[in-house]
Structure 1
Amino acid sequence: MKRLLTSLVVMSLFLTGCRNPTELAVEWVPVDNSVGSWKFFRSEFTLQNKGSRELGSSGWKLYFSFVRRILDDGEGDETGIQALAAQGIRISKASDAKSGDYWVLEPLPNFVPVKPGQKRTVSVLASDWAILKADAPAAFHVVFEGGPFQDDLSVAVPATVKLNAADPKQTTRFEGDVMPVQTPGLRYAENPSFQSLDLKARLLPSPRDVVVGEGRVALRGSVAIGHAPGLTGEAAYLAAALGDVLASPITTRESGQDDGRDTIHLSIDASLDVDGDGAKDAEGYSLKVDDRGVSVVGADAAGVFYGIQTLRQLVPAEAYQASANPAERLTEVTLPEVHITDVPGFSYRGMSLDVSRHFQTKQTVKKLLDVLSHYKVNALHLRLADDEGWRIEIPGIPELTTYGSKRGYDLKETSMLQMGMGSGNDLDSGDRVAFKARTATEANGGVAPRFQGFEQATLNFVGDGSGYYTVKDYEEILAYAAERHIDVIPEIDMPGHARAAVKSMEHRYHTLKDTDPVRAAEYRLVDPADTSKHTSVQMYTDNFVNPCLETTYAFLTKVAQELKARHDAVPGAKLVAVHAGGDELPSLAGNVWWQGSPLCKANPETRELSDTQLFNRFFQRWGGIITATGAAATGWDDIIHHGLTLPGFIPMPWSNVWGWGREDDAYKYANQGYRVILSHATNLYMDLAYNKDPDEPGYYWANFVDEKKTFEYRPFDVYVNGTHDRMGNAIDPGTWATKEKLTAEGRKNIIGMHGLLFGENLKSPQVMEYLAFPKILGVAERAWNPDLPAPDQMPALWARFANSLGQAVLPRLSAYRPVDLRGELTGSVGVNYRIPLPGAQRSGGKVHANVRYPGFAIEYSVNGGRTWSTYSKAFSASGRVLLRARASDGRTSREVELN
């Protein structure tokens, strides 16, 4: 009855046009990072009462997400003491679990009411620092005691953030932070000059050998694609791709050899030896374009596919731009006469995408897969489960998705997980937060978000915290990937980062225990009497599975078998590996993992084992469950940090932060004989912000990472990249003298690398694309061509790459249309890659400007943005000048100001 009355009240308010019945708003400002040195910082929450009733000293609670730990009252040191009670408030963990990043601010009896039209600012100390707007607390929602929304519903409260880039207290992490905030002058000094490019430089990844002829070959009229047996899929893909840019009939036919009737012919030469070492070059290809037509010969079907992708890049960018509107497709495109031979340097060239923190739809993933395949990426590591969400349907365990895939205002977590990462169910209903903005524009303060940097909307519930892939969805993704020669590697992170699974199985237990106790306990993951205390990096206290329970391994066996079944159901989608997780269990110096578990002590096999021994035992069994499916076991290198020897295991070493001591882990493991996939946070974590600009979204705990960092990454000598620490301080090269170097045998065990995109900030597909592109293009280049010249030659190589992005690669990506064989992604055109801010300086009374990717246009305004002119040469201007870069599709960067 109560829920029905609540629904009626909500409907009534909607019908009367009321959007925010509380008329409350919050503004957050990080005031001073120098307080507490590197330990904590001061920020201010300003509550604004825009309504007709006062915000009193009792009866309301304001909930929000914040990834920083808020200090307890009285905590601090001589430079600052937390004084919440003196301000009449209390801030504590919000839900019954008291776990994670979910907080509640509530008044104490001494809180001075905020009258209508008034504001109240409270000062708060929190851990670490905050220098980017993306650090702001998010997803504010309020509940009033005795009001219609108590228990069942909360009410969204709009939030804003302010940060002054010119205030060093707001942008300097602590006294050891010497990294400057980005300015037009810094960019101007770093941006490369325009240079003419040969054909090889216009292709990405750069082919091994390119011999350019003198003529051009036209594709017009009827285009016939002949293909050898076994290449039907590749021929169909090419036909669809050409059909996107060419308004001509395109046909395919199977033919044993090129008999002269084919415009394009696809074939396999199993003995193809591109590099001349006498051995077949897997994934290698030869592409010829001459007056006889086009020939693509691959060492295997994957090689043919990559030859097709290079062929697509020979099509002029103008053809792609014209075809953004299918009705404007050209009737003829010309290709240069050329002979290209090519083979990848690494067999594993990947991207890691986290869909657990924020969900990405199957359509978004499919589009990403097609773009990745265009740059010859061949693996997608898909993080399907974490603390904040479980994203794949497992038949037989429905609770994982009916419960564990949802987030919202549910303090007891009776029907869904608690709010997290600043989102519930995006702007939709179903998360018990009423009166959210109706559109992203409304959530963004009335301005349509362009997602070329931080957007206010991401503080106001924009973000898919809920969602999952059905069996059918996941199999569709697998089929789509297999067509593009991409292996999907699912990750189920255990035994930490497992809160979604743990809470889902507890929900199952409590739902069934009275009616079906056997099924209730079948997959239980925790010992309810466990008194062990731990707090993870993300502040979770209840996110471990228990390694002493047989039900834990029953759960993992069921999940692994269902993953295998999904892959087995899709031709070509072999389950090559399962990622076992294993990262970020908190230090045992201040935490207890399982020693407080009575069931561990009661189990004869575990009663005498330490926590690290229990951890190792867990991965012996979890790894065995994975390999029993026929897949390899891969995972974070944390799995073998505690002395475990795990034959066949493929570690992904990630924690190489300069100065933290684990910079040489990858080489140690490779030298020991492990096959290694490089995952270094300092250069390959694409979710880290591009640079130190308050308007850049992303984290920065390990480094700032841009496409130059990914491009210049040195897989076989990572120490060359360790020139500065994450605070901008220069590192003495001698620091690395004692670190283990990669041996000749160890080098053979580096099987590849990938760019990693964790999902905490991926609150929309556009944000995902912004953070991934063009960073992943640097990854694709380096994974295909891992060998680099001497460090003193790298500036010239980078300048050429930047010119390639500006003149060829990104203009084509602006108009990129995913190859759509079955009408799955109709209307999808372009990628929201980051458009760099221009550089500028005043010299000799004139404004000089440049851009990171020569070939992009620069625009300027001398009247505050009312009108814009295209920059062609230095111009005279006094006072304030605004500048922006413009991509070929008309999108622009953020504006920069030159005073």
Structure 2
Amino acid sequence: MIAPAKNLIRYCSAVFLLSLSVSLTAGAQDATKYPLIPYPTNLTAGEGSFVITSQTTIVTAKQFTGEAAELNKLLAKGLGSSLKMTKTAGQHTIKLVYDAGITAPEAYRLTITPQAVTIKANDPAGVFHAVETIRQLLPVAIEKGITSKKLVLPAVAIDDQPAYAWRGMHLDVSRHFFSISYLKKFIDRMALYKMNKLHLHLTDDQGWRIEIKKYPKLTEEGAWRTFDKNDTACTKRSKDNPDFTIDKEHIIQKNGKTLYGGFYTQQQMKGVVAYAAAKHIDIIPEIDMPGHMMAAINSYPFLTCNGENKWGTLFTKPICPCNETTFEFAQNVFDEIMEIFPSKYIHIGGDEVDRTDWGKSDACKALMEKEGIKDLAALQSYFINRMEKYFNSKGRKLIGWDEIIEGGISPTAIVMYWRTWVPKAPVEAVKNGNTVIMTPGEPLYFDNQPDQYSIDKVYHFNPIPKVLNAQEAKSIIGAQANLWSENIPSERRADYMSMPRMTALAECLWTNDDAKYNSYLQRLVKQYSRMDAMKINYRLPDLPNLLNEYVFTDEGKLSIASPLNTLTIRYTTDGTLPNVSSPVLPLTLVIKKSELIRVAEFTPSGVRGDVYNLNYTKQNMLGPVKIAPPKPGLACTYYKAYFKETALMQNAKVDSTFTTDKIEVPSTVKAPSFGITYKGYIDVPADGIYSFYLTCDDGGVLKIGPGVVVNNDGNHSAQERSGQIALAMGAHPFKLDFIEGGGGFTLKLKYSVNGSAPQDVPAAWFKN
């Protein structure tokens, strides 16, 4: 048996270990001295440092008084008192200077010398970003409010500006509710990493979270629910991970029932908006229409075409676009929303609409005939376009999910692209004249479970579709990550799912330089201590070189190199969860029998990272089988249907068959949901312990010989599962079942043998 493959983790882990190397390159020295995320457009290291004391003064242009106050507030946390604000510059001064020559929005120039600190910008946002740069250059202790007599800033010259105007984060507060204090914490870390748009998903089937005074039942009733299936799933997972425990402050007893929920008053939300505005973060409210409205329809059933409120085939019944009362309700709601949120952007949702009832409605039939509306998709566009005109009349711009383009949309609407499986959507929107914000589910749905590849995929995400030319690319104004909360019931879990991925997205959208990736990983290591001081429950770095299933013929050996020298790896062999009292994993753990090894990393304060379940199985080398003169490739069976798990394909109707020598979804497959079975033999050229890495969106099961090697079954986002098998040279029965529920179209299979680097399975190995 071999130790886990030495180079399975190709991204984060190798760079983390550079902290142990004997020397640092100039770039690494910059990463250590200036551990800034996102990295500036241009940075020139200086000599010496600027020392801030209680005698230091702040001088500001009149345009930047608010930003000067934010800077003073920051420095007061480290000095224990505010600095004096003066009108004229003296010695040892921090100056905020208006510079009309800096023309790029949000740009700034920061110069730190032993004599002075100078911030120059053309707009207040640029000054504020410079303040956040200074924050990251200050000692971590400032985040804890630990005071000292002086604060030291390294000398540096920075010219900086963002690559993209829209650098967003989304937070779903409707499925699980988050407190005002957490919203402010979320805003703080966005500001630290120069993100500038917070998209709040305020309403959905599971909860209505914002007070609307004209319709009080929206929150009196719609903000509360009995526990649903997602709550139950979270409670079950909380037995092993306390981050899945539902925050108790959002649970009440009412009329003999246990209810979960909460909402924001208008006054509370205005306070949050002001808090964000001071940090140059624009809060974009989303009131999801015409679908995802069950929480509202429960209290106001007149909103539907037939008074019903229930789940349809895939989604809930929508509000009716054919009744004037619907538009009266919508306009009244958005009037109050616009009073709370000054943002010029309002998000109307417009996704996942079950239009079935519209087609049965006499009112809709009459409206469609009157307006010349050809189909139900166009009827949805009628609703969206009419609401957009209303928004425009109030000086606002409408944003909708990319489904809004299906029935035709005006070129002035802003399209937010999320459906990874519809790559033409952002292209069609751009060619229609629309502005587009990129937020594809892969890799920017941060509610998808992170893994060892997540940071790399987010960092290297390119918001610009390859088919767009340079002029068309200007319509892509940026991107954002979405944090849907069905399975995020606590603030700690929200932290874990968003951090540190947010930092990778921040640098992707601000710096936009793939060449800085290794430097970014080094700087990220330095950022962890700041996150600790801010009490962010970030996801610890992945343990490198681990599989899900291991086999051995004589003995197994487990060796894990810690990704950070501050972490301790502990393990158990009795099935219990590792804790701070569990034994420390030795340099090499020898395994003699089939057993489950559970390992986890721990911070010095006792915070546990992910638990890794490593199944070790002792087995004999699997001998080859004799086969008739083989044909190249695998025989494939295609099923055009929806499956929740691969086993359900056994009794399904076959749509077609084909032969292939590649494990991938054929380009000819267009159905949103389907299944494929790849069957034949894998002919390996030598004896060995073979590792297989199966990435699926949605599910897949790999069988070689009589048993399962990798189980990656079920409906889920793209994730990799791995396993091993001891194979003798020759042919072995091979079967791979794959299902796609509608979304990702991701299927990859790689292998390694005796510790080699993972690579694609050679086409010549497949026979049938």
Q: Same fold (TM over 0.5)?
A: yes
Name the counterpart of 1:579.
347
Corresponding residue number in structure 2 for 1:894: 610
Amino acid at match of 1:306: H
Is 1:600 aligned with 2:364?
yes
**CA distance in structure 1 between the partners assigned to 2:432 and 2:379 by the alignment:** 24
Q: Distance in 2 between matches of 1:470 and 1:252?
A: 37
**Aligned partners of 1:251 and 1:330: how far apart in 2?**
14
Task: Please show how residues 26-105 of structure 1 align to structure 2 within 5 Å.
Answer: none
Give me the whole-angstrom Cα distance separating, in 2, the residues matched to 1:265 and 1:889.
Answer: 40
TM-superposed deviation, 1:846 = 7.4
For the residue of structure 1 that corresponds to 2:340, the secondary structure is helix
Q: What corresponds to 2:723 in structure 1?
A: none
Residues 574-627 of structure 1: CA deviation (Å, up to 9, x unaligned): 3211011111124xxxx7240211332455736975322321211111111222
Measure, in 2, the Cα distance between the counterparts of 1:455 and 1:785: 37
Query: C-alpha separation between the residues in 2 aligned to 1:307 and 1:390?
Result: 37
1:205 alignment partner in structure 2: 38
Q: Which residue of 1 aligns with 2:337?
A: 563
Matched, 1:809 2:557: no
- 2:377–2:406 CA contact under 8 A, matched in 1: no
Query: For residues 220 and 42 of structure 2, what CA distance do their matches in structure 1 show?
Result: 53
**Equivalents in 1 of 2:443, 2:119: separation in Å?**
34
> Measured at CA, do residues 378 and 533 of structure 1 come closer, stay the same or move farther in structure 2, by a change above 3 Å?
closer
Change (3 A) 1:716 1:855: farther
Distance 1:868 1:840 in 2: 21
Whether the 8 Å contact between 1:283 and 1:343 is mirrored in structure 2 is yes
Tell me which of 510, 524, 545 is aligned to 1:784: 510
Point out where structure 1 has 5 or more consecutive residues left out of the alignment. Answer: 1-182, 273-279, 410-418, 427-439, 507-523, 568-573, 693-704, 719-740, 790-796, 817-829
In the other structure, the counterpart of 2:138 is 315
Equivalent residue number for residue 231 of structure 2? 422
Q: Say whether 1:711 aligns with 2:459.
A: yes
Output the TM-score relative to the length of structure 1.
Answer: 0.59
Aligned to 1:552: 326
Partner of 2:271: 476
Cα distance change, pair 240–887 in 1 and its aligned pair in 2 (3 A) = farther
Contact 1:350 1:379 in 2 (8 A): yes
- The aligned runs of 1:411-450 (5 Å cut-off) are 419=228, 421-422=230-231, 444=238, 450=242
Match of 1:270, SS state, is: coil
- Specify whether residues 366 and 423 from structure 1 end up closer, same or farther in structure 2 by C-alpha distance, changes over 3 A only: farther
Counterpart code for 2:539: R
Q: How does 1:72-471 map to 2 (within 5 A)?
A: 191-193=13-15, 194-195=17-18, 196=24, 197-199=28-30, 202-244=35-77, 246-255=78-87, 259-261=89-91, 263-272=93-102, 280-317=103-140, 319-320=141-142, 324=144, 326=145, 328-408=146-226, 419=228, 421-422=230-231, 444=238, 450-451=242-243, 465-471=260-266
Contact 1:389-1:465 within 8 A present in 2 as well: no
1:424-473: CA deviation from partner (whole Å, max 9, x where unpaired): 9x9xxxxxxxxxxxxx9x9955x8x542xx66999x98999411110111
Which amino acid in 1 is paired with 2:289?
M
Look up the equivalent residue of 2:312 and give its one-letter code: T
- Report if aligned partners of 2:427, 2:465 keep a CA contact under 8 Å in 1: no
Correspondence for 1:500: 295
Confirm or deny: 8 A CA contact 1:443 1:456 kept in the other structure.
no
Does 2:309 correspond to 1:537?
no
Q: Is residue 235–residue 266 contact of structure 1 (8 Å, CA) maintained in 2? A: yes
Q: Counterpart in 2 of 1:36?
A: none
Query: For 1:761-793, what per-residue CA distance to the aligned partner results, in whole angstroms no more than 9, with x for missing partners?
Result: 12011111111111111111111123545xxxx
* Structure-1 residue corresponding to 2:470: 744
C-alpha contact 1:846 1:877 (8 A) present in aligned 2: yes
**Percent of pairs with identical residues:** 29
Give the aligned partner of residue 614 of structure 1. Answer: 379
Please say if 1:525 is aligned against 2:303. Answer: yes
2:720 alignment counterpart: none
How many matched pairs? Answer: 580
> C-alpha offsets along residues 214-266 of structure 1, whole Å, 9 cap, x if unaligned?
2122223434222221322212211222222x2343224252x5x22453222
Q: What residue in structure 1 maps to residue 600 of structure 2?
A: 884
Residue deviations 1:18-63, cap 9 Å, x none? xxxxxxxxxxxxxxxxxxxxxxxxxxxxxxxxxxxxxxxxxxxxxx
Given that residues 227 and 252 in structure 1 are in contact (C-alpha distance below 8 angstroms), is that contact kept between their aligned partners in structure 2?
no
1:490 counterpart (279, 285, 302): 285
- Alignment map for 1:757-772 (pairs within 5 Å): 757-772=483-498
* Conserved? CA contact 1:268–1:301, under 8 Å: no
Task: Report what 1:674 is aligned to.
Answer: 434
> Take 2:261 and 2:424, find their aligned partners in 1: how far apart are those partners?
38
C-alpha contact 1:886 1:892 (8 A) present in aligned 2: yes
Find the residue that maps to 1:656 and give its secondary structure.
Answer: coil
| Cα distance in 1 for residues equivalent to 2:182 and 2:556 | 48
Question: Does the alignment pair 1:838 with 2:670?
Answer: no
CA distance in 2, matches of 1:388, 1:456: 15
CA distance in 2, matches of 1:353, 1:468: 14
What does the per-residue CA deviation read over 1:180-224, in whole Å, with 9 as the maximum and x for residues that have no partner?
Answer: xxx897865652143342335721001011111121222234342
Distance in 2 (alpha carbons) for counterparts of 1:249 and 1:611: 63
Give the TM-score normalised by structure 2: 0.69
Letter in 2 for 1:800: S
Amino acid at match of 1:192: A
Contact 2:245/2:490 (<8 A) preserved? no
What SS class does the counterpart of residue 437 from structure 2 fall into? Answer: strand
1:312–1:641 Cα change, 3 Å: same
Q: Which residue pairs with 1:823 in the alignment? A: none
What is the DSSP-based 3-state SS (H/G/I as helix, E as strand, rest coil) of the residue aligned with 1:473? helix
- For the pair 1:850 / 2:628, whether they are aligned, the reply is no
Change (3 A) 1:235 1:547: same
Q: Distance in 2 between matches of 1:715 and 1:608?
A: 34
Shift of 1:533: 9.9
Kindly tell me: are residues 188 and 348 of structure 1, through their superposed partners in 2, closer, same or farther at Cα, counting changes over 3 Å? Answer: closer
Kept in 2, the 8 Å contact 1:184–1:896? The answer is no
Give the counterpart letter for 1:469 in structure 2: Y
Question: 2:333 is matched by which residue type in structure 1?
Answer: V
Instruction: Identify which range, 860-869 or 223-232, moves more after superposition.
Output: 860-869
> For residue 696 of structure 1, what is the aligned residue in structure 2?
none
For residues 544 and 293 of structure 1, the distance between their equivalents in structure 2, rounded to whole angstroms, comes to 60
Offset at residue 671 of structure 1 (A):
3.8
- CA change 1:875–1:408 in 2 (3 A) is closer
* Alpha-carbon distance between aligned partners in 2 of 1:757 and 1:654, rounded to the nearest angstrom: 12
Task: Specify whether residues 464 and 622 from structure 1 end up closer, same or farther in structure 2 by C-alpha distance, changes over 3 A only.
Answer: farther
What CA distance in whole angstroms lies between the structure 1 residues aligned with 2:326 and 2:120? 49
Greater share of strand: 2
